[in-house]
């Protein structure tokens, strides 16, 4: 018999700080450096009125530089880069800023390079999910977003390997989010 999915709830304000420690850097694993272009992925998480959202949890999930996920469903799993964590977690600081060290993921099948993002924290009873893209090439998920909003899902290169992606939870220039 089909079971009813359990109700979720917000993390609240006191998600342990330790739970994010050490997961902001995806680019080193088992003493190895990840293959591919290393980047700093950073930005603000902002609420209505452009106010910084402090103490929010940002989680990411992405493929390695060859477009491979370390997961049994990926037929190429065995070839996933041993020097790369596909998952990361960061917490926004007092200015609402998060920061990851990662790589630009590879494309695969019908997906352009992209990073899955989930935002958790006070005010959100369910995680908010979206994708970060690096350019506007064809992608089955990118194309679900109304054309005039797509630029809001592009990370902006700022030089020296820094890419900026601001998450605007609500209000002007609100980030497009997907059905979770």
Partner 1 sequence: MMDDSTMKIDYAPYDDATQTLRQIDKYTPSATRVPSAPLIERPLTLSERTGPTELVSKWNVGKLDLCRLAPDSPRALGQLIHVTGRVTDEDGAPVSSVVMEIWQANASGKYIHELDDHRAPLDPNFTGQGRLVTDEDGRYEVFTVKPGAYPVLYSGWWWRPPHIHFSILGTSWMNRFITQIFFPGEVLNEKDLLLNGVPSRDVRDRLIFKPTDTVMGDLSYIGYQRDFVLRGHRQTPELP
Using CB under 8 A as the criterion, which residues of the chain lie in contact with partner 1 when the complex forms? 1-19, 47-49, 51, 53, 55, 59, 61-63, 69-74, 85-87, 108-111, 114, 116, 118, 120-129, 140-141, 144-146, 169-171, 174-180
Q: Read off the tokens for 130.
A: 């979206």
For residues 120 and 107, give the distance between their C-alpha atoms in angstroms, rounded to a whole number.
27
Half-sphere exposure of residue 78, counting CA atoms within 13 Å on the CB side?
A: 1
- When the beta carbons of 31 and 72 are compared against partner 1, the nearer one is 72
Residue 162 CB, shortest distance to partner 1, in Å, is 24
Residue 107 CB, shortest distance to partner 1, in Å, is 11
For residues 40 and 7, give the distance between their C-alpha atoms in angstroms, rounded to a whole number.
35
Q: Which of 136, 123, 134 is nearest to 165 (CA)?
A: 134
Strands 97-103 and 38-47: antiparallel
- When the beta carbons of 151 and 158 are compared against partner 1, the nearer one is 151
- When the beta carbons of 141 and 162 are compared against partner 1, the nearer one is 141
Are 60 and 101 spatial neighbours (Cβ–Cβ below 8 Å)? no
Strands 162-164 and 38-47: parallel
Residue 117 CB, shortest distance to partner 1, in Å, is 10
Are 23 and 81 spatial neighbours (Cβ–Cβ below 8 Å)? no
- When the beta carbons of 15 and 163 are compared against partner 1, the nearer one is 15
Residue 158 CB, shortest distance to partner 1, in Å, is 25
Residue 84 CB, shortest distance to partner 1, in Å, is 10
- When the beta carbons of 94 and 159 are compared against partner 1, the nearer one is 94
């Amino acid at each position: 018999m089909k079971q009813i999915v359990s109700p979720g709830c917000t993390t609240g304000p006191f998600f342990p700080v330790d739970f994010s420690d050490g997961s902001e850097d995806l680019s080193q694993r088992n003493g190895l450096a990840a293959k591919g272009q290393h980047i700093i992925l950073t930005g603000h998480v902002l609420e209505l009125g452009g106010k910084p959202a402090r103490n929010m949890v940002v989680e990411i999930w992405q493929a390695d530089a060859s477009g491979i996920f370390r997961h049994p469903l990926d037929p190429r799993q065995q070839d996933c880069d041993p020097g790369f964590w596909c998952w990361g977690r960061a917490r926004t600081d007092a200015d609402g800023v998060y920061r990851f060290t990662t790589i630009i993921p590879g494309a695969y099948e019908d997906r352009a390079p992209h990073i899955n993002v989930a935002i958790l924290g006070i005010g959100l009873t369910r995680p908010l999910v979206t994708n970060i893209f690096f350019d506007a090439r064809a992608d089955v998920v990118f194309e679900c977003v109304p054309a005039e909003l797509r630029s809001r899902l592009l990370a902006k290169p700022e030089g020296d390997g820094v890419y900026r992606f601001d998450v605007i939870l609500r209000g002007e220039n609100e980030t497009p989010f997907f059905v979770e």
